[in-house]
């Protein structure tokens, strides 16, 4: 029986090394090979280059789309097809509840009356607490019904209370989506009842949740487990409401869970949004189009575990990122340069130990009179995009530049100096041209006078010459005339 060959090192240096047969007895050769292998493995690692531990990847989920996001910065820690259009089902009510809380300012005491339109707008087969037209309930009861029981009738009542009609409230939902910069979200109702015109993406649903968590009272509401709605003349019996969020109902609940909202329709399948907070950091997870109900809870827990356990905080600021200064231009005048500031505590994957890098995204110069929309893309050492942060000019430096500009006299400002200089040169040129024209005119007149003088002098000389010649001719003629004619003097005509 032939002895088995000892295992080879898996490093590139050893994989390229050919296998050599030993001429020693097989047993001794095997022992020596094992010793040599144990000693050579560290050397092979050095020869191949020491590598940092691999970065842990996210867990495998059955959801067709998911995303894990840091609520503070919007940094995406894990994602799968996050930008495909999906039906959100009842996770829509996160937007509905946040808008209602924002509008009421935390006052949940108003009494609401159920209208006929709120009841008839409930789609067939959808979840409800069977409200009836004319029934009254408090705003607080309607909020808990929409969250815990996912009641579509309660969502419609809330919409009419907040905006006057369901249609007006849906318009407000879409307006808020536009304000949040969402490009792939459109709402057709406040409940999430299926419609081809009612859709979003995992990424944009996470951004909606990120905004909703900033609305006062929303985070506390999201963590609710149960609520009792008192009876009324239309419905005398109490209504007991209980969440279906398994991460809240587990004993103990998921560590640090803020709360969440589930959803389901035949077209959307199972959907879920959860938020959890540990050590001052809140993570948001969205799973869409899960094939089984249990998958959405298990998937959210696995992604939250991954985010809390495999990322370390790192401070990203202007000094660490090496952001270049930005030219400041005001009214066509370059005032100088201002440093950019961008700061956030980001989450770096374990094992990705390289230095951070950044790339500026924004206008090439800063004009204080115009809105500034500068951003900085921050990358890990591996080249992985961590986050896109807002960049702003350092205010103290900017104030000094603007103050120095105000203290300059108007003629000394670079914006006016070219105009002043141009005007000066134009005036000087005009003066020189005027002087030249006057001098030329004087020379022309002087030359004309001299020429006229020469002409006059020449004319007088010619006249005198003619008179002399005429006098001589007259004199000769007088001598040839008769004596009696001589007694008459000759007149010059």
Q: Residues in the chain, how many? A: 493
Q: Which two tokens stand for residue 377?
A: 């893309």
- pTM for this predicted structure: 0.72
Q: Report the C-alpha gap between 272 and 249 in whole angstroms.
A: 15
Instruction: Give the model's pLDDT for residue 45.
Output: 37
Mean of all residue pLDDT scores within the chain? 84
Mean pLDDT, residues 474-480: 69
Instruction: Please return the burial class of 404, using the count of CB atoms within 10 Å of its CB with bins 0-12, 13-18 and 19+.
Output: exposed
Q: pLDDT by residue (tens digit) across 384-441?
A: 899 999 888 888 888 888 787 776 665 555 555 566 677 788 888 888 888 888 888 8
Q: pLDDT by residue (tens digit) across 182-196?
A: 999 999 999 999 999
Of 93, 115, 127, 176, which one is the catalytic site residue? 93
Q: Which two tokens stand for residue 442?
A: 């004087």
Q: pLDDT by residue (tens digit) across 93-107?
A: 999 999 999 999 989
Q: Is the peptide bond before 114 cis (omega within 30 degrees of 0)?
A: no
Please indicate whether residue 475 is annotated as part of the active site: no
Q: Report the C-alpha gap between 440 and 257 in whole angstroms.
A: 97
Mean pLDDT, residues 29-33: 46
Mean pLDDT, residues 357-378: 88
DSSP 8-state code for residue 131:
-
Of 90, 127, 128, 191, which one is the catalytic site residue? 90
Confidence of residue 10 (pLDDT cuts 50, 70, 90): very low
Instruction: Give the model's pLDDT for residue 320.
Output: 84
Q: Which of 114, 185, 108 is nearest to 151 (CA)?
A: 114
Indicate if the alpha-carbon torsion angle 387, 392, 397, 401 is positive or negative: positive
Indicate if the alpha-carbon torsion angle 348, 352, 355, 356 is positive or negative: negative
Q: pLDDT by residue (tens digit) across 37-49?
A: 444 444 443 333 3
Q: Report the C-alpha gap between 285 and 202 in whole angstroms.
A: 9
Half-sphere exposure of 30 (CA within 13 A, CB side): 7
Confidence of residue 472 (pLDDT cuts 50, 70, 90): confident
Answer for the pair 167, 186: CB distance below 8 angstroms, yes or no: no
- φ/ψ of 374, rounded to 5, equals -100, 140
Please indicate whether residue 80 is annotated as part of the active site: no
- φ/ψ of 85, rounded to 5, equals -70, 130
Of 115, 127, 150, 191, which one is the catalytic site residue? 150
How remote is the C-alpha of 207 from its chain's centroid? 14
């Amino acid at each position: 029986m032939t002895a088995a060959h000892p295992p080879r090192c898996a490093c590139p240096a050893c994989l390229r090394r050919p296998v050599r047969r030993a001429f020693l007895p097989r047993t001794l050769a095997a022992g020596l090979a094992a010793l040599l292998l144990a000693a050579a493995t560290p050397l092979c690692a050095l020869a191949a280059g020491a590598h940092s531990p691999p970065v842990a990847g996210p867990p495998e989920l059955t959801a067709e789309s998911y995303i894990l996001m840091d609520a503070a910065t919007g940094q995406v820690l894990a994602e799968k097809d996050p930008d495909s259009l999906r039906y959100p089902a009842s996770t829509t009510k996160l937007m509905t509840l946040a808008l209602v809380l924002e509008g009421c300012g935390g006052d949940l005491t108003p009494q609401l009356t159920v209208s006929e339109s709120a009841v008839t707008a409930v789609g067939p087969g959808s979840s409800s607490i069977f409200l009836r037209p004319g029934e009254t309930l408090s705003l607080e009861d309607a909020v808990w019904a929409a969250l815990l029981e996912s009641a579509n009738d309660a969502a419609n009542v809330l919409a009419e209370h907040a905006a006057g009609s369901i249609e007006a409230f849906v318009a407000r939902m879409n307006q808020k989506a536009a304000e949040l910069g969402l490009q792939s979200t459109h709402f057709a109702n406040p409940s999430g009842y299926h419609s081809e015109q009612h859709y979003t993406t995992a990424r944009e649903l996470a951004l909606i949740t990120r905004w909703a968590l900033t609305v006062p009272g929303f985070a506390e509401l999201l963590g609710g487990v149960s609520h009792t709605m008192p009876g009324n003349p239309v419905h005398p019996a109490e209504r007991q409401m209980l969440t279906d969020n398994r991460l809240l109902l587990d004993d103990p609940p998921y560590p640090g869970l803020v709360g969440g909202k589930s959803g389901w329709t035949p077209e959307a399948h199972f959907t879920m949004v959860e938020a959890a907070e540990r050590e001052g950091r809140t993570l948001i997870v969205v799973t869409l189009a899960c094939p089984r109900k249990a998958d959405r809870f298990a998937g959210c827990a696995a992604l939250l575990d991954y985010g809390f356990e495999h990322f370390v905080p790192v401070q990203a600021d202007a000094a660490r990122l090496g952001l270049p200064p930005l030219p400041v231009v005001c009214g066509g005048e370059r005032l100088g340069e201002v440093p950019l500031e961008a700061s956030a505590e980001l989450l770096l994957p374990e094992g990705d130990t390289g230095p951070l890098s950044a790339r500026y995204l924004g206008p090439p110069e800063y004009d204080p009179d115009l809105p500034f929309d500068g951003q900085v893309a921050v990358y890990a050492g591996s080249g992985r995009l961590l986050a896109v942060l807002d960049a702003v000019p350092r205010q103290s430096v900017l104030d000094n530049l603007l103050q120095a500009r105000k203290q300059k006299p108007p003629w000394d400002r670079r914006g006016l100096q070219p105009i002043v200089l141009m005007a000066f040169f134009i005036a000087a040129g005009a003066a020189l041209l005027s002087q030249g024209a006057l001098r030329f005119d004087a020379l022309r007149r002087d030359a004309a006078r001299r020429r006229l003088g020469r002409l006059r002098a020449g004319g007088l000389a010619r006249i005198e010459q003619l008179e002399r010649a005429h006098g001589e001719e007259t004199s000769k003629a007088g001598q040839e005339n008769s004596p009696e004619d001589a007694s008459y003097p000759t007149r010059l005509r």
